[in-house]
Chain A
Amino acid sequence: MKKSLGTVAVAAAIALSLSACGGSGSSAESAKGELSYWLWDANQLPAYQQCADDFTKANPDIKVKITQRGWDDYWSTLTNGFVGGTAPDVFTNHLGRYGELAENKQLLPIDDAVEKDNVDLAAYNDGLADLWVGQDGKRYGLPKDWDTIGLFYNKAMLTSAGVTDEQMKNLTWNAQDGGTYEKVIAHLTVDKNGKRGDEAGFDKNNVDVYGLGLNGGGDSSGQTEWSYLTNTTGWSHTDKNPWGTHYNYDDSKFQESMDWFAGLAAKGYMPKLETTVGAAMADTFAAGKSAINAHGSWMVGQYTGYKGIEVGIAPTPTGPEGKRASMFNGLADSIWAGTKKKDAAIKWVEYLASAPCQDVVASKAVVFPALKASSDKAAEAFKAKGVDVTAFTEHIKNETTFLYPITDNTAKVKGIMEPAMDAVVSGKKPASSLTEANNQVNDLFK
């Protein structure tokens, strides 16, 4: 007993002296040292590495160690880090995820710092800054970039099919007959005997080039797969956004659109879902297997980077309500609530969200930075590379964007919708089967 008391006393003394050390220099300590920063997109690593170097030059006390992790491992590694206490001080955050993280108190609210340091939230593209205010009214991140959807097309294939760039800019779509969008897709589809999809004798079981590429079933958001179509009908994923509590996959307008979409594969104009497991959609486009791919603006570098393929980018089609539509997704940098270098982390996040860093990102022409002024610079940088990105920026200008659905339970919603959507897009079940999945999804919010 005596002995153990003694040990306790010694331990307490050590603890006291340690905390005393910590206490005396806490504010100074938390503003210097090495920050860890995570992101998932390897294409953006060079830009942010330069931001980190510039930041250290201006703040010699703070070093930033950047770790890039692929999207597939990013979130589980991050969760393990939260639990194990090894999460990065600052990390790139996604709209689909931050709600749950904020609710579980893993994110540091930064309202005070934003106010104190006079960060101008109006300088960001409209709506981007508001996305990062949680259900509790607190701010959990500063916007870093945004993306919209466009149609990448193989210019040589379109020329030989007699489809002009002008036609591509004025595509229309509806769920009944697919509009001019389906006509173009059908015409661009070529079977092994050289017959086009809209010609008599077209063999849909032996297609050489598909009019439209397929990325996957699209799970809960359909970000690049179908949302640019379904959301032109006036349909939206949830009752309100952000923080909706009811999903609408049972809406007949949506199910009609999905039946049309799945029909493309049945008609042979789009690859069957089962053939898309494996090689990425962009790579099959490069291999000449599809003429048009709907994809996000973050893919511009990849599509225009393939040797020997001239790529055009058209805006998504105009829907039945006379407007185009594109999902508008934005990333932000958030701070882990458990960071020991709070002040340094805030400084770094504010730097990432500021013009000096976002201009650097813009100059690399990989993504569109969140600041309006930097977005314009990025568009110019793309232009200098010979890429016209108005298909993406037009959505912002004309306000034809809708937000990535931000709700609670997003991981569970995805878990339910992924197999359900796969079954529909692969033609195994009609879109009306989504009503059942939708009930399961909405049960999560009860």
Chain B
Amino acid sequence: MTTLTKHASTAPLRAGAQKPRGGLRRFGDIKIALLFIAPAMIGFIFFYVVPTIRGVYLSFTEYNILGDPEWVGMDNYSAIAKDPLFWNSLAVTGQYVFLNIVLQTALALGLALLMHKVAKSTLIRGALLLPWMMSNVIAALLWFWMLDYQIGVVNQFIEWAGLPRVAFFGSEEWAIPTQAVINTWRHMGYTALLIFAGMQAIPGHIYEVAKLDGASPFQTFRKITIPLLRPVLVLVLVVTVIGSFQVFDTVSVTTQGGPVNATRVIQYYIYQRAFTESDFGYGSAIAVILFLILALVAFIQMKFLKGNESDLD
């Protein structure tokens, strides 16, 4: 095994140096490479590729999980196009993603700066991550009770301040912003950590040069930190936007789509159609649409924010 590993690690170097040696040699590399990829690959195939293909298939069927799927062609998709609840779920999800991403990215950037420049203690840096270590469901329930209209501590403070109580989860206007802020609170420490790592990768001498040239801290941030941070920021955005589109657990343990349809986000609507109403074909079709939307969003982000190239090169 040791010889194999050694062989593998030196192989790319040699392959690069002696390119024309060709076929057999490279084939040997692939075999070993496959060996290393295998654990991840098996998981990927069984838990991602197969379910995805099956999901796409089910989206063209009528399937209540207890019987057999029945092919209905595009029926589910044409029904979805006419389904006001689907369009509502898109709008609601969009509102959530916008609030969540803007707040989360701005706050995380600020926190990362603090971690980079001010808070050098590991303890404090670690503390920023604490909300992220909490399970989503626990975080949601914790805030659900603290923000409760009748017995929540937050509303008690609001009342003491002489203001009217707020139905954070019960009113249609507040339900989505409330949940967006809760998840921002939970995720911003982690996002900050990613950005912080990106900041550490920016060479220190650039800052020194900027300082010598008399750049103000704000100029340094705008002209150096942000452009050089771009690849990391784009990665963070792609990942958090995809994560944000998939908001489900918070809704599921608090408002369950209500009041009326104010928090019926797309993932919750999929769950409702598939698991509550046993319409797995319809649910799969919405899931396929969500998949396409996310692929498009990620593509646009990568393309227009040039996430795959760095200004450092």
Closest to A422 in B: B260
With A276-B170, A411-B277 already in contact, 8 other A-B pairs whose C-beta atoms are closer than 8 Å: A83-B66, A273-B259, A275-B149, A278-B144, A278-B147, A278-B148, A287-B151, A415-B273
Q: Tell me the chain B residues, 262-309 only, with Cβ under 8 Å from chain A.
A: 264, 272-273, 275-279
Indicate which residue in A83, A272, A412 contacts B167 across the interface (CB closer than 8 Å). A272
Q: Nearest chain A CB to B53's CB is how many angstroms away?
A: 19
Q: Give the residue name and chain of the B residue nearest to A101 (CB).
A: B66
Judge whether A160 is part of the interface by a CB distance below 8 angstroms: no
- In the complex, which residues of chain A have a beta carbon less than 8 angstroms from the beta carbon of B33? none
Partner of A419, one of B67, B151, B170, B261: B261
CB atoms of B167 and A422 under 8 A apart: no
Q: Note all chain A residues with C-beta closer than 8 A to B276.
A: 75-76, 411, 415
Majority secondary structure, A binding face: helix
Number of interface residues of B (CB under 8 A): 33
The 7 nearest A-B residue pairs measured at CB: A274-B170, A277-B170, A104-B66, A278-B148, A274-B167, A275-B149, A274-B171
Contact digits for A100-143, partner B, Cβ 8 Å, 1 yes 0 no: 10001110000000000000000000000000000000000000
Residues of A within 8 A of B (CB): 75-76, 79, 82-83, 100, 104-106, 272-279, 283-284, 287, 289, 411-412, 415, 418-419, 422-423, 426, 428
22 contacts between A and B (CB under 8 A): A75-B276, A76-B275, A83-B65, A106-B66, A273-B259, A274-B259, A275-B165, A277-B149, A277-B169, A277-B255, A277-B258, A278-B149, A278-B170, A284-B151, A287-B150, A289-B150, A418-B257, A419-B258, A422-B258, A422-B260, A426-B260, A428-B172
- Inside 8 A of B144's CB, which chain A residues have their CB? 278
- Whether B259 and A422, one on each chain, are in contact in the complex, defined by CB atoms closer than 8 angstroms, is yes
Q: Is the CB of B64 within 8 A of A104?
A: yes
- Is B152 located at the chain interface by the 8 A CB criterion? yes
B235 to chain A minimum Cβ distance, whole angstroms, is: 35
Instruction: Choose from B151, B259, B278 the contact partner of A79 (Cβ within 8 Å).
Output: B278
B145: interface (CB < 8 Å) = yes
The answer to whether A278 touches B152 (Cβ under 8 A) is yes
Beta-carbon contact of B278 and A428 below 8 Å = no
CA distance A426 to B273 in the complex (A): 24
Instruction: Select from chain B the residue with minimum beta-carbon distance to A411.
Output: B277
Q: How far is the CA of A228 from the CA of B276 in the complex (A)?
A: 27
**With A82-B66, A274-B170, A276-B170 as contacts: A419 and B260 at CB distance below 8 Å:** yes
